Chain A
Amino acid sequence: MATYLIKRFFAMIVTLWLIITLTFFLMHALPGSPFNDERNTSEAVQKNLIAHFNLDQPVSVQYIEYLKSIVQFDFGPSIKKSSQTVNDLLGRGFPVSFELGMVTLVVAIISGILLGIVAALKHNGVIDYLAMTIAVLGISVPNFVLATMLIQQVAVNWELLPVATWKSWKHMVLPTLALATGPMAIIARLTRSSMLEVLTQDYILTAKAKGLTPFKIVFKHALKNALLPVVTVLGALAAGILTGTFVIEKIFAIPGMGKYFVDSINNRDYPVIMGTTIFYSALLIFLLFLVDVAYGILDPRIKLHKKEGR
């Protein structure tokens, strides 16, 4: 287990380094990036940029200094507004995005697992078909489409909930719903198929032969095993939700990091693009690592497989 974790940790660092390097050199190659262009920026911003990115030094020095500042969690100044840094934006926007993302993740996991279990237990029944229809639709309808349709119907036509911004729980319902449906559908399908698979295993037959109640068989014997594959996709789902916040925050005018990120893309505010990309990548890569650790704890067999690294 320890060897396995160290190995995974090392891979995580390499992946992080790769994305930082990729970001740095891509931005360097770019005409009109802060490294190559002096036109669209005010003098004050110009100064900030030169100071932070060491633009008067050779590229190799710039790169090393850049790495250093990233390690210290300093993402540099914004091009558009001389008074604020990328860190300011992150500090303001990320808590909102984090709240939206976490609520979405929790809603998606709980509803997805429940839907999946019910579908598996009523295999080929009406509920199964209904649940899987919802799941297929959830996977097929992109979150931004769902979001705009929800606004049009629920907020504009029926006037049930507020259209935009982020103030009370009422404001949270539609964005969460739009963002959670896709991941929920994926979890539901995965839970269902792995539950069906687990229910055919010999140890379920053993549990039945012991005379256990169906409830115990499902929740004590089947569920833990069935959820193992679900755990493995949580990292990818979190990534999906996170990138989903970009469009959802744009549509609902939520003042989160995603909205700033999209604005920065449209304004070509490169330090913000770089900073956000690296920050979010680090977050996701760390989440993937956590998921692997969780998997190792949930599945007692993983310790045996440390040599193969899963």
Chain B
Amino acid sequence: MEAPKQQDTSFTQPNILDEWFVPKKPNKDEAEAVVRPSVSYWKDAWYRLLKNKLAMIGLVSLILLVLMAAFGPIIAPDSAETTVLQNQNQPPSSEHWFGTDELGRDVFIRTWEGARISLFVGVMAALIDFIIGVAYGGIAGYKGGRTDHYMMRFVEILYGLPYLLVVILISVVLKPGLFSIIIALSITGWVGMARMVRGQVLQIKNYEFVLASQTFGTKTSRIIRKNLLPNTMGPIIVQMTLTVPSAIFAEAFLSFLGIGIQPPFASWGSMANDALPVILSGDWWRLFFPAFFISLTMFSFNVLGDGLQDALDPKLRR
């Protein structure tokens, strides 16, 4: 090859050595090298969640709330839930950390007993939504066609029902109590989950990698286990995390209206309801503690759900 107009400036650069002009030793790995180490989806999501400060605050406060719900009543100085009439409406003190109510009951103890109920209702509602919703949505999405059409028409009609009104209606009819609330919450609550799962399944079903598995003759159960589930798990977890606070809110709402948890049991909602008549007289602790912990719990689940959503979104992977 001729070089007619070579304008080579390399001769003015003394640091280029002649012996460098030899073929490079073949280095096969280099050309095909993977530039960054691959991290599994869940590990990657976990690292990203750890970096999200707000979500971490939510996670830590949730752990503390669960611990307090379990052990709070035990560590209180006034251990028994006694009705001592001399102790009515005491402000917070070393003996009653959150004060007492009009029957002389310790608000600290009642707050953590309320926490048990709120958390139980929230988690149960989310679990039931999960079971029904995933099964229903999964079948509709996977079967597709006519089955999907009719299943989804039914869901659409249920979806149009005003959630809290139905919950109120059911609660009025059923004997008031913990399980009535959970049933009332679940009766239409799963619809959102079913819609989401069906959408995901429908989308993933048509991805090339699922079609590829099918052409290899992979069994349906294996496709569901290996392809569909891992890819829908992210949005499902997010949905469940966000179901918990809305169930907790609904329970508190019902209890506040007087059709939720019945005395002698207490929930944060019913405690706030009981505190309504006394806030004008300045007994702030009666309202403040249950209100604060409802808000904290809902806040924690909400920010954790948001964080999970960001962390599990494959589009945001870097």
**What is A's interface to B at a CB cutoff of 8 Å?**
11-12, 14-15, 18-19, 22-23, 26-27, 29-30, 136-137, 139-142, 144-145, 148-149, 151-152, 156, 163, 239-240, 242-243, 246-247, 250-251, 262, 265-266, 268, 273, 277, 280-281, 284-285, 288
Interchain residue pairs with CB less than 8 A apart (12): A27-B173, A136-B303, A145-B295, A148-B291, A149-B287, A163-B280, A251-B276, A262-B258, A273-B169, A280-B162, A281-B161, A281-B162
Interface string of B249-288 (1 = CB under 8 A from A): 1001100111100000000000010011001101010010
- Please pick, from A29, A149, A151, the residue contacting B173 in the complex, using a CB distance under 8 A: A29
**B163 proximal to A (CB < 8 A):** yes
Pick from A29, A145, A285 the residue with the most CB of B within 10 Å. Answer: A145
**In the complex, chain B residues whose CB is within 8 Å of the CB of A242:** 162
Interfacial chain B residues near A15, Cβ < 8 Å: 157, 160-161
Q: Roughly how many angstroms separate A140 CA and B252 CA in the complex, as a whole number? A: 12
Expressed in whole angstroms, the minimum distance between the Cβ of B253 and any Cβ of chain A is 7
User: Is B137 part of the contact surface with A, judged by Cβ < 8 Å?
Assistant: no
Interface size class of B (residues with CB under 8 A): 35 or more
- Does B99 belong to the interface (CB within 8 Å)? no
Determine if B97 is an interface residue (Cβ-Cβ < 8 Å). Answer: no
Nearest Cβ in chain A — how far from B299, in angstroms?
4
Cβ of A27: which chain B residues have Cβ within 8 Å of it?
Answer: 173
Asked if A152 meets B284 with Cβ closer than 8 Å, knowing A140-B245, A266-B258, the reply is: yes
10 closest A-B pairs (Cβ-Cβ)? A140-B299, A15-B160, A243-B164, A145-B291, A140-B298, A141-B295, A284-B162, A26-B173, A239-B162, A15-B157
- Cβ of B170 < 8 Å from any Cβ of A? yes
* Residues in A whose Cβ lies below 8 Å from that of B291: 141, 145, 148-149
B contact set with A: CB distance below 8 Å:
54, 153, 156-157, 160-166, 168-170, 172-173, 245, 249, 252-253, 256-259, 272, 275-276, 279-280, 282, 284, 287, 291, 294-296, 298-299, 302-303, 306
B298 adjacent to A265 (CB under 8 Å): no
Q: How far is the CB of A77 from chain B (nearest CB, A)?
A: 18
**A240–chain B nearest beta-carbon distance, Å:** 8
Cβ of B161 and Cβ of A18 under 8 Å apart?
Answer: yes
- A280 CA to B299 CA in the complex, in Å? 29
User: Beyond A15-B161, A140-B299, A141-B298: 4 further Cβ-contacts under 8 Å?
Assistant: A141-B295, A144-B252, A148-B291, A265-B257
Chain A contacts for B161, CB-based, 8 A: 15, 18-19, 281, 285
Docked CA distance A279–B169 (Å): 13
Contact of A142 among B252, B284, B303 (CB under 8 A): B252
Distance to closest chain A CB from B195 (angstroms): 12
The CA of A266 and the CA of B156, in the complex, are separated in Å by 32
Whether B163 contacts A30 by the Cβ 8 Å rule is no
Q: With A27-B173, A137-B299 given, is the CB distance from A262 to B257 under 8 Å?
A: yes
Q: Please, how many angstroms separate the alpha-carbon atoms of A11 and B169 in the complex?
A: 22
Residues of A within 8 A of B163 (CB): 239
- B157 near A14 with CB under 8 A, answer yes
A148-B279 in contact (CB<8A): yes
> By the criterion CB–CB under 8 Å, are A265 and B162 in contact?
no
In the complex, what distance in Å separates the CA atom of A215 from the CA atom of B245?
A: 38
Bound CA–CA A39/B100 (angstroms):
39
Chain A nearest CB from B196 CB (Å) reads 14
CB-CB nearest in chain B for A261: B168
- Which partner residue on chain B sits nearest A144 by CB separation? B256
Residue of A nearest to B300 (CB): A140
CA distance A29 to B299 in the complex (A): 39
Q: How far is the CB of B98 from chain A (nearest CB, A)?
A: 16
A247-B257 in contact given A148-B287, A273-B169 (Cβ < 8 Å)? yes
- Rounded to whole angstroms, the CA-CA distance of A251 and B256 in the bound complex is 10
Give the chain B neighbours of A23 by CB distance below 8 A.
169
Give the docked Cα–Cα distance between A273 and B173 (Å).
Answer: 11
Q: Which residues of B contact A140 (CB under 8 A)?
A: 245, 295-296, 298-299, 302
B160 close to A285 (CB less than 8 A):
yes
